[in-house]
Every structure is written in C-alpha cells, then in structure tokens.
Amino acid sequence: MTINGLAQIALYFLVLLALVKPMGWYMARVYEGQVCGLDRVVGPLERLVYRLCGVRETEEMDWKTYGIAMLAFNVMGLVLLYGLQRFQNFLLLNPAGAGAVPPDLAFNTAASFVTNTNWQAYGGETTLSYLTQMLGLTVQNFVSAATGMAILVALIRGLARRSALTIGNFWTDLVRSTLYILLPLALLLSLLLVSQGVVQTFASYQPVTMLQPVSYAKPVMDANGQPVLDEQGKPKTEPATAVEQVLAVGPAASQIAIKQLGTNGGGFFNVNSAHPFENPTPWSNFLEMLAILLIPAALCYTFGMMVGDTRQGWAVLAAMTILLIPFVTLAVWAEQSGNPAFVTMGIDQAASPDQAGGNMEGKEARFGIVNSSLWAAVTTAASNGSVNSMHDSYTPLGGLVPMFLMQFGEVVFGGVGSGLYGMVVFAIVAVFLAGLMVGRTPEYLGKKIEPYEMKMAALLILIMPILVLGCTAIAVATESGTSSILNLGAHGFSEILYAYTSQGNNNGSAFAGLNVNTPFYNLSGGIAMLISRFWLAIPTLALAGSLARKQIVPAGPGTLPTHTPLFVGLLIGVVVMVGALTFVPALALGPVVEHLMMVGR
C-alpha cells in the first residue's frame, strides 16, 4: 500500500471520529427532549405533524404497544409502496413513460425499501418514474432509517431506566429522528452534492450526439414489435449505427443524500455511486462515503450519554473501529496485489510508474483501488449497500471482505440504529460468557442478565445465519436458484451466498453476476428481508421492555467493567467467534476455494 493510499484511509477515519462527539451529543439532546438548536425552526413542524396524525407525543408505550405501532406503520408503508409501483404508469412525473412494475419485482422492492435494505433487482432509470423514486423510495429512505433509530432509542431507555413499564413513544421517536436529524443532514448533503455536479432536475431524459458513432447489430422487429426469426429460429439482425444517446437524469441528489445518511444505499441510477451523475468527483465520493458511517458512529456517543456513562459508548465505538480497519487493509492489499494470471500473460497491472496498480477491473479510474476498496468495506460494515465499484470483479479475498463484514450481523457500525442495537446484544452475550467464567450473575450497565434476556439475545444472533444459510442452500439445490447463475463453480456459489447475505442482513449491496430479477429470487429475497428486519426488531423491543423493569444493581468486586480495553477485546472476540463459527464453512466453499484456484494451489 502506498503512502498516498494510507493517507486517504487515515483522513477518512480521522474526519469520521472527529464528528462523533458533536453529532452524538446533538442526537442525545434530540431524544431526551432537550434544547438542541433547531427547536424554533423544526418545533412548529413537529407539533403540526402530531396534530395532523392525532398523536399524543408525551404518552409513553410499553414494548408491546411500541412494537405494534412500529409494525403497523411499516406494513402501511409496504402496501403503499407496492401500489405506487404497480400504478406508476397512470401517475404524474413519469417523463420516460415507465410502465407498471411486475408484481414479484414490486413486492421485492417494497420489502427492500421498507426494511432499510434497498436491494435493487431493477435499473432505476429504466424501471421507475420520478414520482416513484421520490414519493416511494425516498420517503422510505427517511422513515425506515428513523424506524431503526427509534428501536435503538427504546433499547437504550430500557438500559437507562429502572422499574419502568414503558420505553418511550414510537411516533415521537420516529418524527424526531426524521425532522431533527435525518432531514437537516440530508438537506445539507444534497446541496454539497449538487455543488459537485450531482444531478437534481425534473427535466426529461436528455438526448445528446455521441462524439464517436458506434456500429452494432440491431434486432429486426415485426409490425407488432416482436423479433423476426431466421430459418434456424434465431433472431434476425441488421447493421446499424448509433449517433445519439439518451442520458437519464432526474431528482437524484436529494435521494442520494438520504440513501447514504440513512444507510439505505439504493441508487437513483442502476450502477449506484459508480454513476457519474450520482458520484462525479473525488470530493462527492468522500462526502458520500463519510455519510455512510456518520450516524452509526455518532450514535455510540449518544448511547453513552443516554445511559449516563460516555465511556460505554466509546468502548463500543472502539470495538467497531478495530474490527473494521483490518478488513479495509485486507481489501486494499488484495486488490492492489492484482491477479497472478495476468502476470503469466505478460500484462502490466501497474496503474502508472509511480503508483501501485493491481486489479482495476470493475473500478472507476477517478476513484482508484484505495477508495473503491474502502467504500466496499464501509458500505458492508454499515448496512448501506451502495457501491462505487463492482464487487463481483474483486479478487477472491477482496470479495470476501464485504461478504464477511455483513456476516458479522451488520454490527460493525451497521445500519442507523440497527447496527448499534445489534452490537449491544453482542455486549450482553459477552458479559454472560464472562459471568459463566467467574460463576457470577452477569450484569450490563447495572442490569442483571437473566434467562429471558439471553433467550432474546439468542434469537437476535441465530435468526440471521439460519435465514442466510437456509436460503442459500435452497437456491443452490434447485433449478430456480441455479438457472440464473452466470458463473459456475466457486464464484457462482459466492454470488448466491453474497445475495442472501446482503438481503438477510438488510444491506442491499450486490455481488452481481447473478440475475436476481426472477420470481424465485424476488419472492425469496423479499421474505428474507422482511424476516431479517422485523423478526429481529421485536425481540429487541422485548429485551428493552424486560431491562426497563429491572432495578439497577450497584457494581461490586465481581462486576465486569464494560468500558475497559479488556471488555473491548472480549466483545470483538465474541463477534468474530460467532461470525466465524457460522459462516467460515460456507466461505471456504466460495471465496477461499476461488483464491486457492487463482494462486494455483
């Protein structure tokens, strides 16, 4: 790795960590109902929303009521987004004339955006209207992120309160997350992205004359628009020359801002943040990549403030950061090492005489290997899923990095809210293991961890791998799953495993090389996304309700401090151990075997 590459990675983490405390402090004040600086501007809008919706913002809920409200809101969002896609051809703001989205794809997309996954089995510029992108997808980018943040805040209250029957009000947490945190940040980032050239317009797609005409074989069509077949039953073609190209544009900057900040990841255009209209410059690349981890990292400090001990938040943040950095290093090293097969063919992989080269396949020249590999690690450490390069084109070890980071359970920063409540669950498991070793009832932040809490924690940890591995097994064992694989062998297996890992962790990034826009993958993937979001959210709220009812036990000589380097190491060990025990056998069949084949072993 070059000095330039190290400097880029160091700059990214330094800026990110410098923003943790001020941003975390602000969010803690928002959730605790204290003055935060935007009260005069946002306060009247917040109160108007409550009046229009008939919400009593000060009325507290127990965990069951909180969960019912959360599920009802998201079911309504799922139905509305599905309907919007099915009827978009009759609605406004459809300059490209996009037709109705097929039922299975509409279900998959609705499930995807409601669950904060933003898995995309379609090309945005060819499938969806402006209205669907804005009213459907962008709205869900806000409220699905706010839902995850609300669940986290409920869990934090469960840890902070004593002998309480309630954990807050879902509607209040949802509205404040959206209006005070997500919306102001999205407005700011949208303006910054527009300044870098990201498109934001309602104009129709723009035809432009090509600088160099392109010759191609054009299919011959009959009067009904059907392909004409030759005597051998193959489609007839005729020579043609393209002199004009239609450029897709639209209100992209506003969606890109919240897709990054809310760890949503769904691109306005098909190739996501590799598209020059979504991510045109190195500065836009840095800002979009910074936005991915900004809120998940800052919520660690918010957590510390709300439980009354900021050291707890710093400890969790340290564990996340220490887990991420080695994977970033591995990804950059693997991609800069290149492909040994090219060496035997006499191909020079150096980018330039003074710059390290490597595997540039599937990467944008304006970003290079370091920023592509850093993005790949960051987007899968968080449940973001946006991409600025093609993960399917990475070397086997380079592709293993984003896959394994997701398989940790999206707790290495993870999604806004969902990543941190997942890591808190791992912290509970860590203190339980420590309690077993010393023969003492485990405690976390003064709350005794008893059988009920461990049952909920076990559900949260086990549901994801069962879902991912089970769906992968079904796909590789059925013709419906294997018929759309474009690569055979270990790489094809990796593509299927990656797809369900991404959907089963609500990430949304795609390995590609696999046609997932089929009824089998659309339906199975949609179900997987719904289960991985809401079957984890409910046990989290149950855990919050149980902890809220407990008294805080004073720390004693046998209490394990949960803010020390020792605990940080224990927490990292538990996360790695669970991830390795569940997924290393599957990884051995995919990227590990492929790497050994690549180096000739």
Q: How far apart are CA 35 and CA 43, in angstroms?
A: 10
Same-domain check for residues 186 and 40: yes
Same-domain check for residues 199 and 143: yes
Query: Is 508 inside a domain boundary?
Result: no
**Distance spanning both ends of the chain, measured CA to CA:** 25
Query: Is 43 inside a domain boundary?
Result: yes
Tell whether the model's pLDDT for residue 341 goes beyond 70.
yes
Tell me the pLDDT band of 350, cut-offs 50, 70 and 90.
low
This prediction has a pTM of 0.93
Q: Using CA atoms of 407, 412, 417, 423 in order, give the dihedral in degrees to the nearest 10.
A: 90
Query: Is 112 inside a domain boundary?
Result: yes
Same-domain check for residues 170 and 187: yes
The per-residue pLDDT for range 38-81, each reduced to its tens digit, is 999 999 999 999 999 999 998 999 999 999 999 999 999 999 99
List the structure tokens of 388.
Answer: 């600025």
**Would you state the pLDDT for residue 22?**
97
Domain of residue 60 covers: 32-203+251-299
Query: Is 536 inside a domain boundary?
Result: no
Mean pLDDT of 284-305: 97
Same-domain check for residues 138 and 72: yes
Same-domain check for residues 107 and 243: no
- Number of compact structural domains in the chain: 2
CA angle 142–144–146, rounded 5-degree value = 65
Q: How far apart are CA 24 and CA 18, in angstroms?
A: 11
The per-residue pLDDT for range 179-199, each reduced to its tens digit, is 999 999 999 999 999 999 999
Same-domain check for residues 105 and 238: no
Same-domain check for residues 71 and 196: yes
Q: How far apart are CA 151 and CA 561, in angstroms?
A: 25
Rounded alpha-carbon distances, angstroms, from residue 66 to 59, 500, 519, 545? 11, 29, 34, 10
Q: What is the residue-wise DSSP string for 44-98? A: HHHHHHHHHHT--TT----HHHHHHHHHHHHHHHHHHHHHHHHTGGGSSS-TT--
Tell me the pLDDT band of 356, cut-offs 50, 70 and 90.
low
**Would you state the pLDDT for residue 348?**
66
The domain boundary, picked from 280, 299, 318, lies at: 299
The domain boundary, picked from 220, 247, 274, lies at: 247
Tell whether the model's pLDDT for residue 273 goes beyond 80.
yes
Same-domain check for residues 49 and 90: yes
Query: Is 361 inside a domain boundary?
Result: no
Mean pLDDT of 429-455: 90
Query: Is 428 inside a domain boundary?
Result: no
Residues 6+ apart with CB under 8 A from 116: 144, 145, 147, 148, 262, 263, 264, 383, 415, 416, 418, 506, 533
Same-domain check for residues 142 and 218: no
**Would you state the pLDDT for residue 349?**
66
Same-domain check for residues 144 and 269: yes
Query: Is 181 inside a domain boundary?
Result: yes
Same-domain check for residues 137 and 215: no
**Would you state the pLDDT for residue 486?**
82
The domain boundary, picked from 214, 247, 280, lies at: 247
Same-domain check for residues 150 and 234: no
Q: Which residue has the higher pLDDT, 345 or 529?
A: 529
Rounded alpha-carbon distances, angstroms, from residue 100 to 166, 347, 539? 44, 47, 37
Q: What is the residue-wise DSSP string for 204-222? A: PPEEEEEEEEEEEEEEPB-
